[in-house]
Amino acid sequence: MEQACDDIDQMFSNLLGEMDLLTQSLGVEMIPPPSPKTPNTEFSFSVGFKDLNESLSALEDNDLDALMADLMADINETEQKTFQAQKPSSSFQRNSFTDSEPGFSVAASCDYQSNIPAAYTQDYEDYFPPPPSPPPKPNFDPPPPLPELSEPLSKEELESKAKTDKIKLALEKMKEAKIKKLVIKVLMDDDSSKTLMVDERQTARDMLENLFEKNHCDCNTDWCLYEVYHELQIERWFEDHENIVDVLSDWTRDSENKILFLQRKEKYSIFKNPQNFYLAKKGKDAGKEMNEKNKESLLEESFCGTSVIVPELEGALYLKEDGKKSWKKRYFLLRASGIYYVPKGKTKTSRDLACFIQFDNVNVYYGTQYRVKYKAPTDHCFVLKHPQIQKESQYIKYLCCDDSWTLHQWVTGIRIAKYGKTLYDNYKFAVQRMGLASRWPNLSKADPTVTARSSSSGAVQANGQIHQKATPVISTNPESFKHAEVCKEKKPNVGRDLEQAQVQPIPSTNYQQIPKVALRVSKIPPPAPARISSQFYSSAPISLPSSVKNINTNALSPLPPPPPSSLPPADVFSLPPPCENDLPPPPDDFYDPPPDFLPPPPPCFATGNGASLQPGPPLPPPLPSSNQPKPFVKKPIPLPPKRLDMTGLHSEEQRLPRPAPAGGGQPDFMSDLMKALQKKRGSNS
Amino acid sequence: MAGIKTASGDYIDSSWELNVYVEEMGPDADPVRLRVTGDTHIGGVMLQIVDKIQLSQNWSDHALWWEQKKMWLLKTNWTLDKYGILADAKLLYTPQHKPVRLLLPNMRSVLLKISFSSPVFRAVIETCRILNIRHPEELSLLRAPEEKEKKKKKDKDTETEKIHDLTGLVLPGGSTQQMYKGMPAYFADSAETEECYKVLSVSQTNLTPEHITKIYKPGSVVDKTQINSRWLDSSRSLMQQDVMTNDKLWLRFKYFCFFDLEPKYDMVRINQLYEQARWAILLEEIDCTEEEMMVFAALQYHINKLSLTSDPLAQHRDSKLDDLDSALSHLEVKLDSAAPTNVLDSIEAIPELKDNLRLFRPKKLTLKGYKQHWVIFKDTSISYYKSKDEARGEPLQQLNLKGCEVVPEVNVPGQKFCIKLLVPSPEGMSEIYLRCDNEQQYAKWMAACRLAAKGKTMADGTYQSEIQNILSFLLLQKSNPDCQIAADAENMNTQALVSPRYQKKFKAKQLTPRILEAHQNVAQLNLMEAKMRFIQAWQSLPDFGISYFLVRFKGCRKDEILGIANNRLIRIDLSIGDVVKTWRYSNMRQWNVNWDIRQVAIEFDEHINVAFSCISSNCKIVHEYIGGYIFMSTRSKDQNTALNEELFHKLTGGHEAL
pLDDT 10s digits, A1-11: 444 445 555 65
What is residue A10's predicted lDDT score, i.e. its pLDDT? 62
Question: Do both A233 and A381 map to the same domain?
Answer: no
In a domain, B344, yes or no: no
User: Element (H or E) spanning A416, and its range?
Assistant: helix A404-419
Number of structural domains in chain A = 2
Whether pLDDT at A656 is above 70? no
| pLDDT interval class at B555 (50, 70, 90) | confident
Chain A residues with CB-CB distance to B288 below 8 A = 350-351
Chain A segment 372-431 residues within 8 A of B by beta carbon are: 386-396
| pLDDT interval class at A181 (50, 70, 90) | confident
Question: Do both A188 and A324 map to the same domain?
Answer: no
* CATH number of the CATH domain containing A237: 3.10.20.90
In a domain, A328, yes or no: yes
Question: Do both B82 and B183 map to the same domain?
Answer: no
In a domain, B273, yes or no: yes
Contact B449, B406 (CB under 8 A): yes
Does A589 touch chain B if contact means CB atoms closer than 8 Å? Answer: no
In a domain, B471, yes or no: no
The answer to whether B539 contacts A305, with C-beta atoms less than 8 Å apart, is: yes
Number of structural domains in chain B = 4
**Which distant-in-sequence residues (6+ apart) come within 8 Å of B97 by Cβ?**
B61, B113, B114, B115, B116
Q: Which of A428, A451, A474 is the last residue of a domain?
A: A428
Distance CA A41, CA B580 (A): 71
Residue B528 dihedral angles phi and psi, to the nearest 5°? -65, -40
Does B542 touch chain A if contact means CB atoms closer than 8 Å? Answer: yes
DSSP letter, residue B177: P
The answer to whether A112 contacts B577, with C-beta atoms less than 8 Å apart, is: no
- CA neighbor of B289 nearest in space, from B545, B106, B499, B493: B499
Spell out a b/e string for B113-124, using b for 16 or more CB atoms within 10 Å of the CB, else e.
bbbbbbbbbbbb
Question: Do both A51 and A189 map to the same domain?
Answer: yes
Chain A residues with CB-CB distance to B425 below 8 A = 388-389
What mean pLDDT is predicted for residues A509-517? 34
The string of pLDDT tens digits covering residues A603-631 is 333 333 433 444 444 444 444 444 444 44
Whether pLDDT at B608 is above 80? yes
- CA neighbor of B132 nearest in space, from B195, B178, B181: B178
What is residue A437's predicted lDDT score, i.e. its pLDDT? 72
From A310, A351, A355, residue closest to B501, measured CB to CB: A351
In a domain, A517, yes or no: no
Distance CA B619, CA A660 (A): 74
The string of pLDDT tens digits covering residues B162-204 is 677 777 666 665 545 566 666 777 777 777 778 888 888 888 7
In a domain, B525, yes or no: no
Q: For B431, name the nearest residue in chain A, comparing CA atoms only.
A: A395
Q: Inter-axis angle of helices A145-155 and A79-109, to 10 degrees?
A: 10
Length of chain B: 658
Using a pLDDT cut of 90, give the percent of chain A over it: 12
Give the mean pLDDT of chain B: 81
Question: Do both A179 and A65 map to the same domain?
Answer: yes
Beta strands in B577-657 (DSSP E): 579-584, 588-594, 599-604, 608-614
Residue type for A595, please?
P
Question: Do both B289 and B378 map to the same domain?
Answer: no
What is residue B474's predicted lDDT score, i.e. its pLDDT? 78
Q: Which of B458, B479, B502 is the last residue of a domain?
A: B458
The answer to whether B348 contacts A298, with C-beta atoms less than 8 Å apart, is: no
Question: Do both B207 and B109 map to the same domain?
Answer: yes
Question: Do both B269 and B187 map to the same domain?
Answer: yes
Residue that wins the pLDDT comparison between B14 and A69: B14
**Which distant-in-sequence residues (6+ apart) come within 8 Å of B342 by Cβ?**
A113
Distance CA A301, CA A262 (A): 31
| pLDDT interval class at A575 (50, 70, 90) | very low
What mean pLDDT is predicted for residues A162-187? 76
Chain A residues with CB-CB distance to B536 below 8 A = 306-307
Question: Do both B274 and B211 map to the same domain?
Answer: yes
In a domain, A514, yes or no: no
Residue type for A183, please?
V
From B539, B541, B586, residue closest to A297, measured CB to CB: B586
In what side-by-side order are the strands of the sheet with A381-385? A193-199, A181-187, A258-263, A223-229, A234-237, A363-367, A381-385, A397-400, A313-320, A327-335, A338-341, A354-357
Question: Do both A321 and A404 map to the same domain?
Answer: yes
The end-to-end CA distance of chain A, in Å, is: 16
The string of pLDDT tens digits covering residues A58-98 is 555 555 566 666 655 555 554 544 444 444 444 444 443 33
Question: Do both B135 and B71 map to the same domain?
Answer: no
DSSP string, B111-125: EEEEESSSBHHHHHH
What is residue A285's predicted lDDT score, i.e. its pLDDT? 54
Question: Do both B285 and B267 map to the same domain?
Answer: yes
The string of pLDDT tens digits covering residues B568-605 is 899 999 888 788 888 988 888 888 888 888 889 999 98
Whether pLDDT at A650 is above 50? no
What is residue B180's predicted lDDT score, i.e. its pLDDT? 66
Does B350 touch chain A if contact means CB atoms closer than 8 Å? Answer: no
The answer to whether B344 contacts A112, with C-beta atoms less than 8 Å apart, is: yes
| pLDDT interval class at A18 (50, 70, 90) | low
| pLDDT interval class at A663 (50, 70, 90) | very low
What is residue B331's predicted lDDT score, i.e. its pLDDT? 55
What is residue B538's predicted lDDT score, i.e. its pLDDT? 94
The answer to whether B424 contacts A312, with C-beta atoms less than 8 Å apart, is: no
What is residue B656's predicted lDDT score, i.e. its pLDDT? 56
- Give the mutation candidate from B284, B379, B540, B588 for the A interface (greatest A CB count, under 10 A): B540
| pLDDT interval class at A176 (50, 70, 90) | low
Question: Do both B176 and B271 map to the same domain?
Answer: yes
Whether pLDDT at A507 is above 60? no
- CA neighbor of B256 nearest in space, from B20, B647, B547: B547
Reported ipTM: 0.82
Q: Which of A428, A455, A489 is the last residue of a domain?
A: A428
Does A592 touch chain B if contact means CB atoms closer than 8 Å? Answer: no
Question: Do both B113 and B230 map to the same domain?
Answer: yes
In a domain, A61, yes or no: yes
| C-alpha angle B104-B107-B110 in degrees, rounded to nearest 5 | 50
Alpha-carbon dihedral sign for residues A496, A497, A498, A499: positive
- CA neighbor of A632 nearest in space, from A600, A603, A607, A608: A608
Whether pLDDT at A397 is above 70? yes
From B291, B540, B542, residue closest to A307, measured CB to CB: B540
User: Element (H or E) spanning B448, and its range?
Assistant: helix B439-453
In what side-by-side order are the strands of the sheet with B16-22? B32-36, B16-22, B91-95, B62-66, B71-73
Q: Across-strand partners of A182?
A: A198
* CATH number of the CATH domain containing B382: 2.30.29.30
* CATH number of the CATH domain containing A399: 2.30.29.30
Question: Do both A313 and A421 map to the same domain?
Answer: yes
The answer to whether B428 contacts A394, with C-beta atoms less than 8 Å apart, is: yes
What is residue A469's predicted lDDT score, i.e. its pLDDT? 34
Q: Measure in Å the smallest separation between the Cα of B425 and chain A Cα atoms.
A: 5
Question: Do both A368 and A237 map to the same domain?
Answer: no
Question: Do both B90 and B197 map to the same domain?
Answer: no
Give the mean pLDDT of chain A: 60
What is residue A35's predicted lDDT score, i.e. its pLDDT? 39
From B257, B348, B424, residue closest to A389, measured CB to CB: B424
Q: Which of A368, A402, A428 is the last residue of a domain?
A: A428
In a domain, B274, yes or no: yes
The answer to whether A386 contacts B586, with C-beta atoms less than 8 Å apart, is: no
Distance CA B154, CA B210 (A): 14
What is residue B250's predicted lDDT score, i.e. its pLDDT? 93
Q: Measure in Å the smallest separation between the Cα of A568 and chain B Cα atoms.
A: 28
| pLDDT interval class at B140 (50, 70, 90) | very high
What is residue A391's predicted lDDT score, i.e. its pLDDT? 86
Question: Do both A218 and A164 map to the same domain?
Answer: yes
In a domain, A178, yes or no: yes
The range of the structural domain enclosing residue B604 comes to 547-653
In a domain, B406, yes or no: yes
The answer to whether B542 contacts A393, with C-beta atoms less than 8 Å apart, is: no
Distance CA B61, CA B80 (A): 20
Range with the poorest average pLDDT among A311-315, A495-499, B45-49, B102-106: A495-499
Chain A residues with CB-CB distance to B539 below 8 A = 305-307
- Give the mutation candidate from A350, A363, A385, A390 for the B interface (greatest B CB count, under 10 A): A350
In a domain, A41, yes or no: no
Range with the poorest average pLDDT among A47-51, B166-170, B256-260: A47-51
Whether pTM > 0.90 for this model: the answer is no
**Which distant-in-sequence residues (6+ apart) come within 8 Å of B576 by Cβ?**
none
Chain A residues with CB-CB distance to B426 below 8 A = 250, 252, 388-391
Question: Do both B78 and B105 map to the same domain?
Answer: no
In a domain, B360, yes or no: yes
From A164, A298, A301, residue closest to B344, measured CB to CB: A164
Whether pLDDT at B558 is above 70? yes
What is residue B625's predicted lDDT score, i.e. its pLDDT? 92
* CATH number of the CATH domain containing B81: 3.10.20.90
Beta strands in B499-546 (DSSP E): none
What is residue A417's predicted lDDT score, i.e. its pLDDT? 93
Range with the poorest average pLDDT among A327-341, A633-647, B332-346, B475-489: A633-647
The range of the structural domain enclosing residue A165 comes to 46-71+159-263
Does B257 touch chain A if contact means CB atoms closer than 8 Å? Answer: yes
Chain B residues with CB-CB distance to A394 below 8 A = 428
Chain A residues with CB-CB distance to B580 below 8 A = none
Q: Which of B80, B95, B110 is the last residue of a domain?
A: B95
Whether pLDDT at A400 is above 90? yes
From B289, B501, B539, residue closest to A353, measured CB to CB: B289
Question: Do both B86 and B103 map to the same domain?
Answer: no
What is residue B274's predicted lDDT score, i.e. its pLDDT? 94
Question: Do both A387 and A243 map to the same domain?
Answer: no
Distance CA A590, CA A4 (A): 39
Q: Which of B95, B112, B134 is the last residue of a domain?
A: B95
Question: Do both A214 and A341 map to the same domain?
Answer: no
Q: How far is CA A293 from CA A273, B586, B630, B633, in A?
A: 12, 11, 17, 14
The string of pLDDT tens digits covering residues A220-272 is 888 888 999 988 899 999 999 998 888 888 888 888 888 999 888 888 999 98
The answer to whether B540 contacts A335, with C-beta atoms less than 8 Å apart, is: yes
In a domain, B468, yes or no: no
| C-alpha angle B184-B186-B188 in degrees, rounded to nearest 5 | 80
The string of pLDDT tens digits covering residues B504-518 is 888 877 788 888 888
Contact A600, A540 (CB under 8 A): yes
Question: Do both A378 and A284 map to the same domain?
Answer: yes
The answer to whether A167 contacts B344, with C-beta atoms less than 8 Å apart, is: yes
Chain B residues with CB-CB distance to A297 below 8 A = 586
Question: Do both A165 and A254 map to the same domain?
Answer: yes
Q: Measure in Å the smallest separation between the Cα of A250 and chain B Cα atoms.
A: 8
Distance CA A435, CA A429 (A): 10
